[in-house]
A and B are shown apart, each in its own frame.
Chain A
């Protein structure tokens, strides 16, 4: 009877408008930044991992983007020098430089897309985890009475 009552209470809390509103709010926070919703809902390890992964990928994205900008700038400069070259030796030098910078820009463009993909992937995982990745609602602290004593258990979720 008591167990049934507890289950009904949990169900009521989960399905109550306030619970759903809090859940929706966590999802919105997770949409804004991966891991934020998890941190708000008490899943600290998972939230920290997702947030850390997103920060790392965004930092990587910014670094690669700076390198890409430099390569594009180098390419533009080499192209300008090549277009204005009057000596064949200079033209060859700047043409080779232009090809090198172009290859470099192509590579950094690829890396930038990979970083963008990784950041988007972490974001999708974070949101999907908030929507579908709910663990069984283990109580954080339980007390179980046994024949020869009792057991206190602490559960962690991540």
Chain B
């Protein structure tokens, strides 16, 4: 009888411990307020290079610490940051193989390091001489 009582106690303890975990409070509202994406992104073809130009997001000049430029190949899902630029709104991708098409995205970084939505893609061709 004692053994049975102990068994009952063990079973009830196991179930009590197993069912004692609780999830936390409901999630809070979305907390991020990232910078808007850059505007007027363009790509200009060059000989073995592509020039990118864009503008600051409207009314956010003081809050932007830089821009991240991505190399993008949609077909293979490649999205690779190639550079982070500060205080400029242009980027020159140089030493590219000739007669190839390259696509880019650009996003703004705020002073806390949070990256906003990416603008693009825009594509350009590296021309042969």
Contact = CB atoms under 8 A, between A and B. Distances in A.
A25 B116 CA distance: 71
The DSSP consensus for interface residues of chain B is loop
A7 interface: no
A91 to B, nearest CB: 5
A33 B4 CA distance: 10
A72 interface: yes
A85 to B, nearest CB: 7
B114 A88 contact: yes
A86 B115 contact: yes
A65 to B, nearest CB: 6
A109 interface: yes
A75 B30 CA distance: 15
Interface of B: 1, 4-5, 7-8, 11, 15, 18-19, 21-23, 26-27, 30, 32, 34, 107, 113-118
Given A32-B8, A61-B15, A109-B22, 14 more contacts: A31-B8, A33-B8, A65-B19, A68-B21, A72-B23, A75-B23, A87-B107, A87-B114, A88-B116, A95-B27, A98-B27, A102-B23, A112-B19, A116-B19
